[in-house]
């Protein structure tokens, strides 16, 4: 999560939120609440740490009995919607994991997910008792509310970004599959995106589980086919032959005569971090029938401590007639992003066709 987002939790936000709580719970001490949150450590805390701190200070100020504290939150949650109120479900994860609170906590997560999202908060419960939680998630997958249905999928993603890891599902996703089966033709795009992302997560550790599922699902419906296309994207981009064949791509490692010539080049040998370069490619397809080709370029980014991290960028994905000469150009920025920091060093750029490498170029990235 971008550090700049942490500034949503400023004094105005805390004033407004604390005033809401005070109306619902007269004993709430607004000044103590704000003072303990915005102490000398506050400015250095990243986004997630700020959420956690608000959650814990809220726990200190609300009634000590969990069920009473939840009732206070129920009185104000309709006014507390969106990303900034993720600490509502966080409160459940922090204070509601005792066995005697199970039913209250599940109802609270179901309710709060429609206001913000309970996808992070459900994960500690899964770690404690995966079988029991997944039974609840299966019920949620049949809910009338799309936010609750999405929770049933998003909450059990093995590799949910920024969420607590679920090694149990990385090892064996069996308990996740009934959820995805239930949602594979969901009418909500919001839900379908989550199902696709869950499949993509599973594919990184258990590719054959996803391939076998795809063979069962393919052609079931327009919605399901869209989910599969998105859910198998990592396998397609990595050149997995089973995934490529499923969507009609040519398996080039089995036919090395299709690409007659291929090259990739850059217009500069050296640029500064923050600048851009132009990437050009050329590709000759041998004579023959039309072929489904996915053309990408990959950059092997130099990371801290000389590690390398590859990122792929799509150039084209289409049917191409035999005998075609393809060319293209793409400007690529090496400016830092919230999700990617650039480091100086020699970066390798390769042309990929259906997951196979054809041609390479190098660019030296230097510090400003």
Q: What angle do helix axes 102-112 and 146-154 make, rounded to 10 degrees?
A: 120
Q: Note the pLDDT of residue 338.
A: 76
Q: Note the pLDDT of residue 215.
A: 96
Q: Note the pLDDT of residue 251.
A: 84
d(CA 110, CA 143): 10
Neighbouring-strand partners of residue 319: 292
How does residue 255 score in pLDDT terms, banded at 50, 70 and 90?
low
pLDDT of residue 252 exceeding 90: no
- 126, 163 contact by CB (below 8 A): no
Q: Note the pLDDT of residue 1.
A: 41
pLDDT digit string (tens) for 153-209? Answer: 999 999 999 899 999 999 999 999 999 999 999 999 999 999 999 999 999 999 999
d(CA 345, CA 367): 9
Q: Is 185 left (phi over 0), alpha (psi -120 to 50) or beta?
A: alpha
As a whole-number percent, the residues of the chain with pLDDT over 90 amount to: 86
pLDDT digit string (tens) for 333-366? Answer: 999 987 789 999 999 999 999 988 999 999 999 9
pLDDT digit string (tens) for 37-86? Answer: 999 999 999 999 999 999 999 999 999 999 999 999 999 999 999 999 99
Instruction: From residue 9, give the alpha-carbon distance in Å to each of 106, 120, 256.
Output: 27, 19, 56
Q: Return the higher-pLDDT residue of 255 and 252.
A: 252
Q: Note the pLDDT of residue 2.
A: 46
- 105, 125 contact by CB (below 8 A): yes
Domain pair 3-246 / 252-366, same fold: no
pLDDT of residue 3 exceeding 70: no
Query: If DSSP states are collapsed to H, E and C, what string results for the chain?
Result: CCHHHHHHCCHHHHHHHHHHHHHHCCCCCHHHHHHHHCCCCHHHCCHHHHHHHHHHHHHHHCCCCHHHHHHHHHHHHHHCCCHHHCHHHHHHHHHCCCHHHHHHHHHHHHHHCCCCCCCCCHHHHHHHCHHHHHHHHHHHCCCCCHHHHHHHHHCCCCCCCCCCCCHHHHHCCCCCHHHHHHHCCCCCHHHHHHHHHHHHHHHHHCHHHHHHHHHHHCCCCHHHHHHHHHHCHHHHHCCCHHHHHHCCECCHHHCCCCEEEEEEEECCCEEECCCEEEEEEEEEECCCCCEEEEEEEEEEEECHHHCEEEEEEEEEEEEECCCCEEEEEEEEECCCCCCCCCCCEEEEEEEEECCEEEEEEEEEEECC
What average pLDDT does range 299-313 have in this prediction? 92
The answer to whether domain 252-366 has CATH 2.60.40.10 is yes
Q: Note the pLDDT of residue 306.
A: 84
pLDDT digit string (tens) for 11-29? Answer: 999 999 999 999 999 999 9
d(CA 212, CA 288): 31
- The mean predicted confidence, pLDDT, of the chain is 94
Q: Which CATH superfamily is domain 3-246 in?
A: ARM repeat domains (1.25.40.290)
pLDDT digit string (tens) for 80-98? Answer: 999 999 999 999 999 999 9
Each domain of the chain, given as residue ranges in start order, spans 3-246, 252-366
């Amino acid at each position: 999560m971008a550090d700049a987002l942490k500034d949503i939790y400023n004094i105005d936000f805390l004033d407004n939120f604390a005033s809401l709580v005070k109306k619902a719970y007269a004993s709430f001490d607004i000044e103590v609440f704000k003072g303990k949150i915005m102490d000398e450590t506050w400015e250095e805390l990243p986004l997630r740490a700020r959420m956690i701190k608000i959650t814990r200070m809220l726990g200190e100020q609300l009634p000590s009995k969990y069920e009473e504290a939840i009732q206070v939150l129920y009185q104000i949650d309709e006014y507390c919607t969106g990303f900034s109120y993720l600490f509502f479900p966080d409160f459940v994860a922090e204070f509601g994991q005792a066995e005697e609170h199970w039913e209250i906590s599940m109802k609270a997560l179901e309710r709060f997910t429609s206001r913000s999202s309970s996808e992070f908060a459900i994960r500690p419960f899964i770690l404690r008792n995966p079988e029991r939680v997944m039974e609840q998630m299966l019920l949620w997958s049949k809910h009338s509310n799309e936010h609750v249905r999405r929770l049933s999928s998003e909450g059990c993603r093995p590799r949910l970004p920024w969420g607590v890891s679920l090694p149990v599902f990385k090892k064996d996703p069996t308990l996740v599959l009934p959820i995805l089966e239930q949602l594979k033709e969901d009418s909500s795009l919001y839900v379908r995106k989550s199902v696709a992302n869950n499949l993509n997560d599973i594919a990184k550790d258990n590719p054959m589980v996803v391939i076998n599922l795809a063979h069962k699902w393919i052609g079931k419906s327009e919605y399901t086919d869209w989910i599969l296309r998105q859910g198998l994207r990592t396998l397609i981009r990595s050149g997995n032959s089973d995934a490529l064949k499923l969507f009609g791509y040519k398996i080039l490692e089995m036919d090395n005569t299709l690409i007659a010539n291929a090259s990739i080049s850059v217009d500069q040998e050296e640029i500064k971090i923050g600048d851009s370069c132009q990437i050009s490619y050329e590709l000759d397809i041998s004579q023959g029938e039309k072929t489904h080709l996915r053309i990408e370029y990959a950059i092997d980014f130099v990371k801290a401590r000389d590690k390398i991290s590859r990122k792929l960028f799509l150039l084209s994905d289409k049917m191409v007639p035999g005998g075609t000469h393809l060319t293209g150009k793409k400007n690529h920025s090496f400016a830092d992003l919230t999700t990617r920091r650039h480091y100086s060093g020699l970066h390798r750029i390769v042309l990929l066709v259906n997951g196979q490498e054809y041609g390479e170029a190098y660019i030296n990235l230097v510090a400003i």
